[in-house]
A and B are shown apart, each in its own frame.
Chain A
Amino acid sequence: EAGVAQSPRYKIIEKRQSVAFWCNPISGHATLYWYQQILGQGPKLLIQFQNNGVVDDSQLPKDRFSAERLKGVDSTLKIQPAKLEDSAVYLCASSFTGNNSPLHFGNGTRLTVT
């Protein structure tokens, strides 16, 4: 089966600019996650979708980050405006259901904010 697809792979922007990341989950996976992985740290959950509804966005900095999953398939994560501390790898993952199904991760988007 095709894996989780993410684009772009790399992005370099200046602080205060905007950026968007795209994720296409594995076909049939109802649950989609966005994680932020800062260098030297473990991934941190930003937001979890079940179909096109938000299940958990408690750690999403909502003043600058937004995410959507229209039609319950693809998802986009946006940062506006970006700060230096947003430099990280943004990982998308999906699972068949939210319960006891393994998460499948994409290769991530590496964001550098200068």
Chain B
Amino acid sequence: AQSVTQLGSHVSVSEGALVLLRCNYSSSVPPYLFWYVQYPNQGLQLLLKYTSAATLVKGINGFEAEFKKSETSFHLTKPSAHMSDAAEYFCAVSGPRGGKLIFGQGTELSVKP
């Protein structure tokens, strides 16, 4: 069975500060891992994905994530937060053949001026 756990349902940072959103996964097979962002009243947009190639994955809008097998983690980071980054972020896992995604509970990111 596969699952993801996002640590912290709400994270607040100041504009220009480091963003760190935590995700730990559980999977009995090599996982594919994803980060999605959801703005109010919109669907989910793919930020980045890990599919067993490079462990450091770069995505859109300056976000990146590092796959650490030893820690079963896939944390999302951005060096400098922007007001437009305020949104809900979801970590998700699928099996090596892809297909359906299993999502975490989500982390709401607030950015203070």
Contacts and interface: CB of A to CB of B under 8 A. Distances in A.
A99 B43 contact: no
B104 A103 contact: no
Contacts of B36: 105
A104 B36 CA distance: 10
Most B Cβ at <10 Å: residue of A31, A33, A43: A43
A42 B104 contact: yes
B49 A43 contact: no
B25 interface: no
Given A42-B90, A100-B51, A102-B49, A48 B100 contact: yes
B84 interface: no
Nearest to A108: B43
Contacts of B101: 43, 45, 103
Interface string A36-53: 000011111100100000
Interface of B: 9, 32, 34, 36, 41-46, 49, 51, 90, 92, 97-106
Interface of A: 4, 31, 33, 40-45, 48, 55-56, 91, 93, 95, 97-108, 110
